[in-house]
Amino acid sequence: MKAYVLHDIGDIRYEEVKEPVLKPDEVLMEVKAVGICGSDIPRIFENGTYSFPLIPGHEFSGCIVKTGAEADPDWLGKRAGVFPLLPCKNCVPCGQQHYEMCRNYSYFGSRTDGAFAQYVAVPVWNLVELPKEVSYEAAAMLEPMAVAAHAMRSMGFGKKAGRPEEGENVGCVAKGISPEEETCNVPKNTGQERKKTVAVCGLGTIGLLLAMFLKEAGIDNLLVIGNKEYQKKDILDLGITGDQYLDSRDGDIVHRILDRTGGLGVDVFFECVGKNETVSEAILATAPAGKIQLVGNPASDMNFDQNTYWKILRNQLTVRGNWNSTFLHSAEDDWHYVLNLLQKGKIHPEHYITQRFRLDELEKGLHIMKDKTEEYVKVMITL
């Protein structure tokens, strides 16, 4: 079969390789669509991976063409998406079904061969069957969508698959309320109420998907922060208004957010960039008793000055990390939350596919992202 093989940092080659030999609990998937993740760029061109040679690619979907000796033969011919984390199932987090926090995990495309290839071997445990309404391209975006959904849901929004029922508690910093109420108590003794405000900083793939999910979940009082014109267009296409978009190139984000919120700050701040300055801005722009969800992979060391650290203490902020997503083969997990919305036609992630290439053209997509020669959100490879 053909595959892109990473032999060393910067040395990726399109070549003939052996078809994977299946373990008893695995199936052979013919890859139909695979997205290029932002993390693939430093992995291929800067930092390398855990071992060489290795086939990258972890956002993928396809059709099952062969089953291992112990795999259910009913999978043959079925369409599926793939949870790319391979948990050990023996550590304490795995025992608690927190597979995303496994201590000894493997991972498609970084620790084991991934999907920049015609075929890939996948354990049955990692498969999610696709409804007929869900395309291969949408399914190849299940992983980044599940990451965005995980960030949102861990902050108390979108608890159920689909729009919250009337009166459902979706969470608020001060007290639980429904999105229809959209009010949040300010610190005690003021006698005031105000609309709760949510900020999303960073409008790459995850940030845009997060804004999409928040909007779908009924959270309308959003501020979104980006720095590119096409990001603003994508946000407006979601139904978020122009006055809710803040361009970080236009000046001090913290003071502009404080001005918008009567000097208090936002109730929930999603930081999707991963830079020291934007994390600091999140802390300074979040309201007393507010919550900060750190979503962006770190691009640098994180160092807070004294005043910023004091803000965490004196405002009693909750700062939470976010990584990966829940996958439990259950309607309650992040993957099935997303799948449910896709099946009902409530979200349309294909809108964010900006470039499409064949497998043998994958290097074009890699260099667009590496060299930023074109505007892009999601670069998709279709087979």
CA 116 to chain centre: 20
For position 196, what pLDDT does the model report?
Answer: 80
- Report d(CA 213, CA 142) in Å as an integer: 13
For position 170, what pLDDT does the model report?
Answer: 35
Closest CA to 351 of 215, 225, 223: 215
How are beta strands 79-82 and 245-247 bridged, if at all?
unpaired
Angle between helices 306-314 and 276-284 (to 10 degrees): 40
Closest CA to 78 of 113, 32, 112: 32
Domain positions in the chain are 2-140+348-382, 149-321
Q: Is 185 helix (H, G, I), strand (E, B) or coil?
A: strand
CB 287 within 8 A of CB 264: yes
CA dihedral 137, 141, 143, 149 (to 10 degrees): -140
Class for domain 149-321, per CATH? alpha beta
Radius of gyration of the chain (CA): 21
For position 141, what pLDDT does the model report?
Answer: 98
CB 270 within 8 A of CB 200: yes
For position 300, what pLDDT does the model report?
Answer: 80
CB 208 within 8 A of CB 295: no
For position 193, what pLDDT does the model report?
Answer: 55
Q: Is 127 helix (H, G, I), strand (E, B) or coil?
A: strand
Angle between helices 276-284 and 253-260 (to 10 degrees): 30
- Report d(CA 112, CA 349) in Å as an integer: 27
Q: Is 225 helix (H, G, I), strand (E, B) or coil?
A: strand
Q: What is the pTM of this model?
A: 0.90
From first to last of its 383 residues, the chain has per-residue pLDDT tens of 999 999 999 999 999 999 999 999 999 999 999 999 999 999 999 999 999 999 999 999 999 999 999 999 999 999 999 999 999 999 999 999 999 999 999 999 999 999 999 999 999 999 999 999 999 999 999 999 999 999 999 999 986 543 333 333 333 333 333 443 344 444 444 445 556 899 999 999 999 999 999 999 999 899 999 999 999 999 999 999 999 999 999 989 999 999 999 999 999 999 999 999 999 999 999 999 999 999 999 988 889 899 999 999 999 999 999 999 999 999 999 999 999 999 999 999 999 999 999 999 999 999 999 999 999 999 999 99
- Report d(CA 200, CA 184) in Å as an integer: 18
For position 171, what pLDDT does the model report?
Answer: 34
For position 162, what pLDDT does the model report?
Answer: 37
CB 113 within 8 A of CB 54: yes
Domain 2-140+348-382 adopts which CATH fold? Quinone Oxidoreductase; Chain A, domain 1 (3.90.180)
Strands (E), 17-58: 26-36
For position 203, what pLDDT does the model report?
Answer: 96
CA 30 to chain centre: 24
- Report d(CA 265, CA 251) in Å as an integer: 17
